[in-house]
Amino acid sequence: MFASTLTLTRHAREHGYAVPAVNILDDLSIRAVVAAAVEKDAPLIVQVSVKTVRSIGTELVTTIARLASADQPVPVALHLDHCPDRAVIDDVVAAGWSSVLFDASDRDLATAERETAEVVAQAHAAGVDVESELENIIGVEDGVGSDVALHAYTVEQLAEVAERTGVDLLAPQLGTAHGEYKATPVLRPDRVRELAALTDRQIVLHGGTGLSEQDFRTFIDAGVSKINISTAVKTSYMRSAEQHLAWARANGKWDPPSMFRDIGKAVQEAVGTHLDEFRASGHGREAAAAITRAGGAR
Ligand code: 13P
């Protein structure tokens, strides 16, 4: 049973931390991020890009996530990251995921609002929470997105659309970008504070890789309750594979399971550091109890 993304993020907001939403790539990375959450006693959102859904298939990724999170002492939610494609949303809603990010930032505002309301009606009928993106987060994430800002709305507009559509979480532009930062970002925790004063929807920080612990804390104190991390997983995964392969070549030892072990350890360590930085460590069991009080997992 997957945990509710909304219940987890509400718990985080009430207790002054953010739930890590970590993009995974395969069974190895799913097990590593769950192991990090268990080690640190932290709640976790396992996050999956549309590209990964397409490469593994909804059924297999759902099954792997279900088995990896079953009977763990910490709650684990399963979330679909940036998805402009309604057919993929249909699929994961039917598969019983916790939540979806309907990314309507490629639409004009009127169309984005109409379609977001439709997605909310469909998802809520199945007990699935909805994150909404109207402005685009800068940067291309697994083939979705743009390197230029397509829309900029006022916080009042964002809050009004959120109230009318009934979304559960908001992904506003906060000065961050997906991928490695090429220049120092101009961060906008002020927008989080303004939005939090206008709406009680949960606020999500995208583009977590490359920000400092102090940046995370500033955003959490401003009201962010979910922080997305993807690039850090990819780089720790690939760099440890690269190191292992160099060692294998030097020693003439080609043993895939020992490379998997190295990769799993590297990903677990990288994610564990973020769990501490988001102040999520130590809140896992307590968040699991909040899920039970809220009526159980979905
Ligand atoms: P990074 O790749 O910069 O960590 O961003 C992750 C993200 O926001 C996924 O939606």
> Alpha-carbon distance 298 to 289, whole Å?
14
Average pLDDT over residues 243-253: 98
Nearest CA, atom 1, ligand 1 = 207
- Residue 201: CB within 6 Å of ligand 1? no
> Alpha-carbon distance 169 to 167, whole Å?
6
Range of 154's domain? 5-233+278-294
Contact 44, 254 (CB under 8 A): no
CA of 46 to the centre of ligand 1 (A): 13
Over 182-222, what HEC string results? CCCCCCCHHHHHHHHHHCCCEEEECCCCCCCHHHHHHHHHH
Which CATH number does the domain housing residue 211 bear? Answer: 3.20.20.70
Q: Tens of pLDDT along 251-293?
A: 999 999 999 999 999 999 999 999 999 999 999 999 999 999 8
Q: Residue 242 domain-assigned?
A: no
Q: Are strands 139-141 and 144-146 parallel, antiparallel or unpaired?
A: antiparallel
Least confident among 1-10, 141-150, 213-222, 264-273? 141-150
More confident residue, 72 or 147: 72
- Residue 229: CB within 6 Å of ligand 1? yes
CA of 209 to the centre of ligand 1 (A): 6
Nearest residue to 221 via CA among 3, 12, 8: 12
The alpha-carbon radius of gyration of the chain (Å, integer) is 18
Nearest residue to 38 via CA among 66, 3, 4, 73: 73
Q: Residue 250 domain-assigned?
A: no
Mutate to test the pocket of ligand 1, among 79, 205, 209, 237 (most ligand atoms within 8 A of CB): 209
pLDDT at 298 over 70: no
Question: Which residue in 26, 71, 81, 200 is the catalytic one?
Answer: 81
Atom of ligand 1 nearest to the CA of 232: 4
Q: Residue 76 domain-assigned?
A: yes
- Residue 178: CB within 6 Å of ligand 1? yes
CA of 293 to the centre of ligand 1 (A): 31
- Residue 81: CB within 6 Å of ligand 1? yes
Average pLDDT over residues 65-89: 97
Contact 74, 289 (CB under 8 A): no
Average pLDDT over residues 200-223: 98
The three-state secondary structure class of 282 is coil
Mutate to test the pocket of ligand 1, among 231, 237, 274 (most ligand atoms within 8 A of CB): 231
Mutate to test the pocket of ligand 1, among 224, 230, 234 (most ligand atoms within 8 A of CB): 230
Atom of ligand 1 nearest to the CA of 210: 3
CA of 206 to the centre of ligand 1 (A): 5
Atom of ligand 1 nearest to the CA of 101: 10
Q: Residue 271 domain-assigned?
A: no
Sequence-distant (6+) residues with CB within 8 A of 123 are: 89, 93, 99, 100, 129, 130
Considering the chain, what is the average pLDDT of its residues? Answer: 96
108 a catalytic residue? no
CA of 208 to the centre of ligand 1 (A): 6
Q: Residue 262 domain-assigned?
A: no
Q: Residue 253 domain-assigned?
A: no
In the block, which residue shows the tokens 């920080």? 205
CA of 157 to the centre of ligand 1 (A): 24
- Residue 207: CB within 6 Å of ligand 1? yes
Is 217 exposed, middle or buried (CB count within 10 Å of its CB: 0-12, 13-18, 19+)? middle
pLDDT on residue 296:
63
> Alpha-carbon distance 230 to 247, whole Å?
26
- Total count of domains within the chain: 1
Average pLDDT over residues 37-53: 98
Q: Residue 251 domain-assigned?
A: no
